[in-house]
Amino acid sequence: MLRERDRPRLWRAAFAVIGWAALALQYVLMAAPAEGWAVLDRTVNYFSFFTILTNILVALALTGPLMSPRRRVARWTASGGVRAAIAMYIVVVGVVYHFLIAPNWKPEGLTFGVNLVLHYVMPAAFLLDWLWFTPKGRLRWVDPMKWLAFPLVYAGWTLAHGLTTHWWPYGFVNVDELGLGRVLAVFAGLMVCFLLVGLALVGLDRVFGRTVRDSSAPAL
C-alpha cells in the first residue's frame, strides 16, 4: 500500500519525467530541421518562449524534492514562495495559450502532443502539486509583486531580441506587425494577469494555512 509520504514523491517523479521529456522533444522538433549556425538560432529561439522557460522551472520544481536536501536545487525548490511563484507563471501559461494562441493554431502529430503537455498537462499537474503538497500559510500579499520580476525580465528580453532579429515568439508581441505601443499594452495586461493569479494563490495559501492551524489547535 502506498504510504502517505510517498504520494508527493511518486506524483513529482511521474510529472518530472513527463515534463523533461516534453521539453526535450520540443527542442528536437524545433532544432532538428536546422543545420550549421541555424541550430544556434533555433536554440536561442527555443529559450525565448516563456512557455519553455516556465516549464523548465516546473520540471526543476518537481525534480528538486526528489534530490538530496543538501543539493542547492532541492533547497531552492523547497521554498513555498518559489513554488507559488512558479505556480503563478505556469497557470498564466495555460490560460494565455488556451485563450490567445490555441484558437488560431492547430498543431498536429508530435507537435500536438508536446503542446498538450506543456500548456495543459504540466500547468494542471503543478497547480495540483502546489495545492496538495506544498505547506501553506507563509505567503504575503506583497509576494506577487516580487514574482513579477521574471515576467518583466522576459518582456525586456523579448523586445530586445525581437527588435534585433525581427523574430517574435508570439503573435501578440510582434512589434513589427502591431507596433511598440500595442505590444507594451499587451505586456501591461499580462502583468495584471500575473498579479491577479498571484494574489489568488496567496489568498488560497492563507485560507488553507488557517484551516491547517485550526485543525491542529488543541480542543478546549
Query: Hey, is 70 helix, strand or coil?
Result: coil
Burial of 164 from C-beta contacts in 10 A (0-12 / 13-18 / 19+): exposed
- pTM higher than 0.95: no
List all residues 6 or more positions away from 78 whose beta carbon is below 8 Å from its beta carbon. Answer: 64, 65, 69
Mean pLDDT within 7-16: 97
Question: Does residue 100 carry a pLDDT above 50?
Answer: yes
Q: In this predicted model, what pLDDT tens digit does every residue of 30-66 receive, in sequence order? A: 988 777 778 899 999 999 999 999 999 999 999 999 9
Domain ranges of the chain: 6-209
Give the model's pLDDT for residue 176: 98
How does pLDDT run across 168-184, given as a tens digit for each residue?
Answer: 999 999 999 999 999 99
Mean pLDDT of the chain: 94
Q: Nearest Cα to 101, choosing from 120, 86, 127, 126?
A: 120
What is the mean predicted confidence (pLDDT) over 85-106? 97
CA distances (Å), origin 220, targets 67, 212, 217: 41, 17, 9
**Grid cell of 5 as nine digits:** 509520504
Phi, psi of 71 (to 5 degrees): -70, 140
Residue 6 has pLDDT above 90, yes or no: no
Higher pLDDT, 210 or 114: 114
Residues with Cβ within 8 Å of residue 116, at least 6 apart in sequence: none
C-alpha cell belonging to residue 79: 521554498
The yes-or-no verdict on residue 220 having pLDDT over 50 is no
